[in-house]
Each structure stands twice: as C-alpha cells, then as structure tokens.
Amino acid sequence: MALSEHEQRLLDEMERGFYQSEADVLQAGSAEPRRLNYRSLVLGVIVVVAGIGVLVAGVAVQLLWLGLVGFAIMLGGVVLMLSRRSAGPLTVDDITSAGSGPKAAKASRESLSERMERRWDQRMEGER
C-alpha cells in the first residue's frame, strides 16, 4: 500500500530528526572505543557477592547499619564492574582483530551508525 504525500513527508521528517538526534548522541560519546576489563568484572562480582553476604548477615542479626554497609559494598562492586580502566595485556578487541587482516581493522573502526547506514544503502540498491 502506497503512502500518501502527507504521510511520506512526515516519514521523511521523522527520519531526518532521527539522523540528527543520532549524530548528537554520537558526538556526545567518547571517541575512544570501550574495552571489556575482565579483572574489574571478576573483582566486581566478588565484591557484590560479599556485599550480599554482609547484607543478609545484617538482616539475620537485625542490625540496620550492617545491612546498609552490605548495600554500600554491593554498590561499590557494581561500580567496580562497570569501571573502564586499562585492561591487562590482552583485550577482547585485540583477540577479535588479531590475524584477521585489514578488513577486520576497517570494520572495527566503523561505528554502529556507519555500519547501519552502509547496510541500509546496500538494501536500497538491491531493491532498485
């Protein structure tokens, strides 16, 4: 079913607004790729589990302050898990791009919006 002229204009306007807002979000983000830090992730999980233990102990002995300390420990563990400090000698990005040649290096530099735009263009060219 074909769109009316008014509907087509609205769709075009929404698409332009989407691309403008996407560009704003991408400019606000950091230019440096984020890497997964397994050390922080594992330590964070251990700290969260310890915090849960302290929280449960605080509930068991009915000490409010101990429960609050357990919650604070859990919160610290979550912050530690999400921290993005420099990873150790080997990262996930190093593994995925190692030995894959220049094509993988180009793909890793390509942002999500660029990949989506390239795929969209390929689809549109295929329909014509």
pTM of the model: 0.43
Beta-sheet strands, E only, within 18-85: none
pLDDT tens-digit series, residues 4-58: 888 888 888 888 888 777 666 666 555 555 667 788 888 889 999 999 999 999 9
Identify the three-state secondary structure at position 28.
Answer: helix
Instruction: Look up residue 127 and give its two tokens.
Output: 């329909």
Mean pLDDT of the chain: 76
Q: What is the mean pLDDT of residues 64-89?
A: 81
DSSP string, 30-98: -SSPP---HHHHHHHHHHHHHHHHHHHHHHHTT-HHHHHHHHHHHHHHHHHHH--PPP-S--HHHHHHT
Alpha-carbon gap, residue 88 to 39, rounded angstroms = 8
Q: What is the pLDDT of residue 116?
A: 85
